[in-house]
Structure 1
Amino acid sequence: MTRTSPGQYVRQVRQEIAKVTWPSRKEASISTAMVFIMVALAATFFLFVDFLLAEGVQLLFGLGV
């Protein structure tokens, strides 16, 4: 395997970065909003499931108040 010089490495990195298709500001903001919405939905779902499981354990074993 041949070693590349630091200058050649930097040129190769710049060539690869030029090939990247970056999202527009609108696409990035929509994706960010969708991530926040999905996180909120997942958190709500797991809060509900946790509550149901806690109630079930309390009912089954008579633990807690």
Structure 2
Amino acid sequence: MAKTSPSEFVNQVQTEAKKIVWPTGRETIMTAIMVVIMTSLLGIFFFGIDTFFGAIVQWLLSLASGR
């Protein structure tokens, strides 16, 4: 592998940094809104699943204890 000098390395980094395409403010806001919506939906879904299985476990435990 060829060695690069520090100045050549800095030049390469600057060249690559110029290729970066940053999202617009609107794109950032839309992405943030989608993340909030999806995490909320997943939170509600897993809460429902947890509640459902918790009720099943409680029912099975009540059957096992003879109540």
Relative to the length of structure 1, the TM-score reads: 0.86
Aligned to 1:46: 46
The higher radius of gyration belongs to 2
More contact order relative to length (CA 8 Å, sep ≥ 6): 1
Count, aligned residues: 63
| Structure 1 gap ranges (5+) | none
Residue of structure 2 equivalent to 1:37: 37
SS in structure 1 at match of 2:18: helix
- For structure 2, list consecutive stretches of 5 or more residues without a partner in the other structure: none
Identity %: 37
Q: Which runs of 4+ in 1 moved over 2 A?
A: none
* Residue 61 (structure 1) shift: 2.3
